[in-house]
Amino acid sequence: MKSDEILRRISELKEEKNAVILAHNYARAEVQDNADLVGDSFALSQAAVDLDADMIVFAGVHFMAESAYILSPQKTVLLPDADAGCPMADMVTVEALREAKKQYPDAAVVCYVNSSAAVKAESDVCCTSANAKEVVAAIEENEILFVPDKNLGHYISTLTDKKIHFWNGFCPIHQQITEFDVLTAKAKHPSAVFLAHPECRPEVLKHADGIFSTAGIIKYAAAADEKEFIIGTEQEMMHKLMKDSPNKSFYPVSKYAYCSTMKMATLPAILNALETGNTKITVPEDIRVKAKKSLDRMLAAVP
């Protein structure tokens, strides 16, 4: 099928089913251009609650679709490719978390939204990269077990006096960005501002002029007076950055920062999801209710 025919069918089916397409900032450029909302994990979670729709097609990864269902179970949530997972989310299991909780009985468990519903259910509160600092400040405990991202955990530990125990998880895409990559890019573009995602290693973040979620990076670059930026995150971000700020220059810090599971939601896969209702993402009700408490606490901490 030709791409204009695919787009025409998508738009017909969206209307017929009262569906919306939510796309993460790492989704394919052509998917972002045809989505109802493009954003970071936090904005997409909020949209799942706020949008008046019967169906959400998630151009993102599994934990995002799961979060949408947890927050809004009356909506049908579809993930165009059921294999679109997040390797970092798989780095913490409920069993391992229960063991760690025994080791740190006084610690509150703060769980990055990049985690399974079952892990969220086992945690006290969730956070995203956009609100981790505020969430950690808002909870009353002074001791925290932060799962699964050790890099985000480390970054937050530099912003609080609270004691943080790190998990040994990481995003393989951000983990492979090295300090050498940053120094090389800075040498090549000496006037550029370096903006990085907090999933990067500490030795990368120490060179950053700004550390933000994906939406935060886009917002900062659009508002800044500077004209050149080195971008320390997944490379599809270039699309929205250039679209929002066409008169500015953006240089990816690494050409290898590519999240392949974020690209599984192609336009034909989205059309297939709308036509077939596959793959429907749900969570067992007992887990959903507990996981929702962790997400609700996050949303309450950052109104």
Residues that bind ligand SF4 (CB under 6 A): 26, 61, 86-88, 114, 171-173, 234, 259, 261-262
When asked if residue 116 is in the footprint of ligand 13P (CB under 6 A), the reply is no
Between 34 and 114, CB nearer to ligand SF4: 114
Between 241 and 274, CB nearer to ligand 13P: 241
Between 6 and 136, CB nearer to ligand 13P: 136
- Give per-residue burial for 214-224: e unless 16+ CB within 10 Å, then b: bbbbbebbeeb
CA distance 83 to 126: 24
**Residue 25 binding: pick among ligand 13P, ligand SF4, none (C-beta 5-8 Å cut-off by kind):** ligand 13P
Q: Could you give the C-alpha distances from 24 to 33, 58, 151, 225, 247, in angstroms and in order?
A: 11, 8, 21, 26, 23
CA distance 152 to 257: 17
Q: How far is the CB of 64 from ligand 13P (least distance, A)?
A: 7
When asked if residue 41 is in the footprint of ligand 13P (CB under 6 A), the reply is yes
Q: How far is the CB of 183 from ligand 13P (least distance, A)?
A: 23
Cβ atoms of residues 252 and 235 within 8 Å: yes
Between 192 and 200, CB nearer to ligand SF4: 200
Closest CA relative to residue 164, chosen from 115, 220, 119, 104? 104
Stretch that binds ligand 13P, among 10-18, 39-47, 185-193, 238-246 (CB under 6 A): 39-47
**Region of residue 18 (phi > 0: left; psi between -120 and 50: alpha; otherwise: beta):** left
CA distance 181 to 76: 42
Closest CA relative to residue 3, chosen from 247, 235, 271? 271
CA distance 50 to 198: 27
**Residue 40 binding: pick among ligand 13P, ligand SF4, none (C-beta 5-8 Å cut-off by kind):** ligand 13P
**Residue 129 binding: pick among ligand SF4, ligand 13P, none (C-beta 5-8 Å cut-off by kind):** ligand 13P
Between 123 and 175, CB nearer to ligand 13P: 175
Strands (E) across 113-234 are located at 125-127, 143-147, 163-166, 193-196, 210-211, 228-232
Closest CA relative to residue 71, chosen from 108, 41, 101? 41
- Measured in whole angstroms, the distance separating CA 130 from the mean position of its chain's CA atoms is 9
Among 21, 25, 75, 221, binds ligand 13P (CB under 6 A): 25
Q: How far is the CB of 130 from ligand 13P (least distance, A)?
A: 6
**Residue 115 binding: pick among ligand SF4, ligand 13P, none (C-beta 5-8 Å cut-off by kind):** none
**Region of residue 15 (phi > 0: left; psi between -120 and 50: alpha; otherwise: beta):** alpha
Q: How far is the CB of 42 from ligand 13P (least distance, A)?
A: 6
The 185-224 contact track toward ligand 13P, x by CB under 6 A, reads: ------------x-x-------------xx----------
Residues in the site for ligand 13P, rule: CB under 6 A? 25, 40-42, 86, 114, 128-130, 171, 197, 199, 213-214
